[in-house]
Amino acid sequence: MDKSYSDSYKAAGVDITAGYKAVELMKKHVARTMPEGRADIGGFGGLFPLDMAGMKEPVLVSGTDGVGTKLKLAFLMDKHDTVGIDCVAMCVNDIVCCGAKPLFFLDYIACGRNFPEKIASIVGGVAEGCVRAGCALIGGETAEHPGLMPEEEYDLAGFAVGVVDKSEVIDNTAMKEGDLMLALPSSGVHSNGFSLVRKVLDVENCDLTAPVAELGGKGLGETLLTPTEIYVKPVLALLKEVTVRGISHITGGGFYENMPRSIPKGLGVLIDRGAVRVPPIFGLIQKRGNISEHDMFNTFNMGVGMSVVVAREDAVRAIDVLKANGVDAYIIGKIVRGDGVTLV
């Protein structure tokens, strides 16, 4: 690339040599996600060898998502090494709901100006997310958009592909009245509802580093930037031990929108409100914004990042497996005749 440069394009706001430097800086991060520890990036396409051994009818499962306005917190804190974890989590947590094992991931970064060290930091977070999910980061795109967004800002999105044998795809056909719903705790707000968070907590005009008593002395910035939990490995371990009848990733829309997506028509879920372990950040948001409980549960995950439905007789075993894999799961409700979500 020694002969590849353009002073005219740089004067227009696009520095292609900065892009080359960013690629070199991110290679060490990408290598962490590769089975052979190599970072073969920079080509026209990302390659991934498929191992379908043991599968009779493999099905590819894909998902795409972004980080949303949580990025504003990264800008304000000038901390860019964790939002990539969020980006991966939002994609792989979706596809594992189908029972799929994530195989590979690609990212897309649009920025006002390419600061190579910042871009590499973002990709470092993406790579960490891929390591946590057990998938490879095989490529991506960084696009410099001068005049379209401020120089210091960027947007981040990604795309994941996984695989599952057709006979093992998780659907809700076996779910029945009396089954139990388990909660997999979240690490906090995750990556949804940040437009409301930013408005209520006035994050653009407050000291994000000041200790907050309700948060155990942590600052708002640190608390809100806590990366989204990645549930892939614990859930895949669970699927080997227990028949799972439904999984929901609790994202935008909270309980009311996401839980019904894994429940068949004619059935609903009765949630024990007192059993839900709500992290302090949600109490602070509700208090500061004078937000109704319904709106809180219809916007945020409220401490439940993923829900899993199993037969009553499998619940104890499922909880044991999840705890053995680092997730402090617990029962929050049961499947009943009806529809939607009811909190009692």
Instruction: Report which of 325, 298, 324 is spatially closest to residue 234, judged by C-alpha positions.
Output: 325
Residue 44 pLDDT level (bands cut at 50, 70, 90): confident
Instruction: Pinpoint the residues of the chain covered by CATH 3.30.1330.10.
Output: 7-46+53-168
Alpha carbon distance, N-terminus to C-terminus of the chain = 63
Lowest mean pLDDT among 35-49, 242-256, 318-332: 35-49
For the chain, the average pLDDT equals 95
pLDDT for res 91:
98
Spatial neighbors of 83 by CB under 8 A, at least 6 apart, are 67, 70, 71, 74, 122, 125, 156, 225, 227
Instruction: Label residue 9 by pLDDT band (50, 70, 90).
Output: confident
Is the pLDDT assigned to residue 37 strictly greater than 60? Answer: no
**Lowest mean pLDDT segment, chosen from 45-59, 128-142, 269-283:** 45-59
- DSSP classification of residue 68: G
pLDDT exceeds cutoff 90 at 45? no
Altogether, the residues listed in the chain come to a count of 344
Contact criterion met (CB below 8 Å) for 162 and 102: yes
* pLDDT of 14: 82
Give me the CATH code for the 7-46+53-168 domain, please.
3.30.1330.10
What are the tokens at 236?
Answer: 């895949």
Residue 200 structure tokens:
């209520």
pLDDT of residue 102: 98
Over residues 209-265, the pLDDT tens digits come to 999 999 999 999 999 999 999 999 999 999 999 999 999 999 999 999 999 999 999
- Contact (Cβ atoms closer than 8 angstroms) between residue 223 and residue 215: yes
**Nearest C-alpha neighbor of 311 from the set 328, 288, 334:** 334
Looking at residues 67-88, what average pLDDT do you find?
98
Give the global pTM. Answer: 0.95
* pLDDT, position 38: 63
Element (H, E) at 322: helix 315-324
pLDDT at 194: 97
Average pLDDT on 161-184 reads 97
User: By three-state DSSP, how is residue 82 classified?
Assistant: coil
Give the per-residue pLDDT at 1: 60
* Residue 7 pLDDT level (bands cut at 50, 70, 90): confident
Q: What percent of the chain has pLDDT over 90?
A: 85
Instruction: Please tell me the distance from the alpha carbon of residue 253 to that of residue 238, in angstroms, as a whole number.
Output: 26
| Between 231 and 50, the higher pLDDT residue | 231
Q: Which residues of 218-256 are buried (b: 16+ CB within 10 A; e: fewer)?
A: bbbbbbbbbbbbbbbbbbbbbbeebebbbbbbbbbbbbb
Q: What share of the chain is helix, strand, coil (3-state, %, to 5)?
A: 40, 25, 35
CATH 3.90.650.10 domain locations along the chain: 180-343
Q: Is residue 142 pLDDT above 90, yes or no?
A: yes
CATH-assigned architecture of domain 180-343: Alpha-Beta Complex (3.90)
